[in-house]
Structures are given as structure tokens and as C-alpha cells.
Amino acid sequence: MRCLFLESMKVHLKGLWKSGCMCGPDIASVKDLSITTEWNMESSLCPCTEPENPVPAPLASWEDYFQWRSLPLHSPVAVLLHWPLTLYHCLQLSRIQTSRYDGHDTLHIHYLGPEKELLQLAVFAELRALFPGVHLRIELVGPAVPRSRDGEVVNISSYPNCSGESCHCRSSIASENLNCSEVTLKIWKGLYHERYGDIVKDSNPHLILAPNAGVAAYPSWMPTIEMIRGIGVPAIFTDFCEEAAHLASCCISSITGQPLGLPIQVNPFRQPIAENNSALYIPCYSNGFVFGM
């Protein structure tokens, strides 16, 4: 179904969409994570330049986002943008006042267990629009990171391009008017509790996020959760489906001896797919449910 949808939008296995379905490359087989910066669609269907208006506070749904970004509901970009929009939503839930990080300081996010995101890093450029004037530094740490990319730093200072050769997004001054520092990503190979000492030398977290964590399925989460409890930083997890989220909740509570600080709830920015090429969206499982400690 996903492949048929991407084929109908003429983006199957193109640009940022290469890992958007099962046909794409597996991260373990990819030697080069060079950032792909092409939406491969016309400008009216994708956020390739800065927004026309400041972000309303807060965005509460994909409909809100599409209206703010002046995109039609049949645009498929939400299939990829669920990564940065989920991070946006989790920052709202954590009650971190992002206005404090207005360019004079850096908001540090520790992002655990990235996989497909590593082939779609350019979508995190949307955080520039969501948090204008805020410098975000995101540490992506997980065992799926290729060893050759361990320690690599990626600076994102522009949006992915549309397919229009004459579009403003391809201009060298396309992003100069947006009062926002670039998003900085640093990639770490390994489990979080094993690499934490190295990471915090330069980046003490304000928020820890573990998308699609599968806590109940992987025993390696146990020492990481114990460590997070000890450092006392807000930590938010997402999981594919409600059952997995409830199982994860039981695991976390058994390790910490406490109930969740943030109860299980539906993520309004979970990954959607379009049904029958219409503007109706049905949820896929990716980032479906949010909970935290």
C-alpha cells in the first residue's frame, strides 16, 4: 500500500523518499549517509522555503500544520515529517520554554535509536521553521548508526529543495531572512547508556526522546532507563501501537518503581498514509503513541 501511494505521487524511491517504503535501502547496507535534500515534487506540495507566517502556538494536528505551511492535504510530506513534528510535539509536552533558547544558548536534544531517520536527515530542517530563533543541537545515538559515521556532525541551514529549477528555495539567499540558527545533528554509534559519558562532554540534554522505542522488545533498554531515571532529565518515548506502548509502560514502571510521569496518549503527529489518493489520512503505526518518565 505504501509503495502504491508513493508511486501515485511520483516519488517512489526518489530523493528523501528512498527509504519511505520496504523497497528502499536498509541502513546497514548504506555506506554513505550524505544528506539528501530533494523533495522531488513541486513547491506547492512541500515546505521548501521559510513559512509565510510565524508558527501559531501550539500546532495540534496535521491539519493545523498543513494550513500554517499553506500545503494541500493531499501532499504526502507528513509521511516523512512525522520525525520533526513528533519532536515538536514532545517539546510541547515537556513544557520546555523554547523561547529561552533564542540564539544565545542551545537547546540540546538526545534522540535515541535512529534508523530510517539517518537516511532522511534533511527533514529535520523543518525544526528551523517550528522554532525560529532557536539553536537546536540533536545528538542521534543508536546501534543502527554505521561505524564509519560515528561522530559525524551535520549542519542543516536550509530546507530540502522542491523540483522547480527556478524556485526561491534554490537561491543562495533563500534562508537568510529566517531568524534561526541552523539545526546541528551529531551522530553516535552505540547504546545510549554506553555513550552517554562521551555525549555529555559537549551536550547536556534538556530532553531525551526515543521514537518507536520498542522498550518491551529490547532488554538493552533496561540500563538506559535506569540511567535516565538517575540523571532526572525529561524523557519521552513513542511506540508503534497502543499494545506496545502499554507493554513499554509496564517495563518502565517495573524498572523505576514509579508510574509514568506522562501517561500514554495518541501522538497527533504520528506517521500518516493517504487512503485511495484522497485527502483522508489513516494512521500508520510509526510514532503512534507517546508516553514519558
**How confident is the model at residue 25, as a pLDDT?**
73
Using a pLDDT cut of 90, give the percent of the chain over it.
Answer: 67
Q: What is the mean pLDDT of the chain?
A: 88
pLDDT digits (tens, 9 = 90+) for 251-267: 999 999 999 999 999 99
- The SS3 of residue 98 is helix
Residue 171: the pLDDT is 78
Question: What are the boundaries of each domain within the chain?
Answer: 1-292
Instruction: Check if the beta carbon of residue 205 is closer than 8 Å to that of residue 108.
Output: yes
Closest C-alpha to 138, from 55, 209, 213: 209
pLDDT for residue 2: 76
pLDDT band at 175 (very low <50, low <70, confident <90, very high): very low
Q: What's the rounded Cα separation, in Å, for the pair 67 and 144?
A: 35
Say whether pLDDT at 178 is over 70.
no
Is residue 99 scored above 70 in pLDDT?
yes
pLDDT of residue 282: 47
CB 42 within 8 A of CB 60: no
Torsion of CA 211, 216, 217, 218, to 10 degrees: 80
Return the residue matching grid coordinates 526518489: 14
pLDDT-based confidence at residue 280 (cuts at 50, 70, 90): very low
Q: Tell me the pTM.
A: 0.92
92 membership: H or E segment, kind and range: helix 78-94
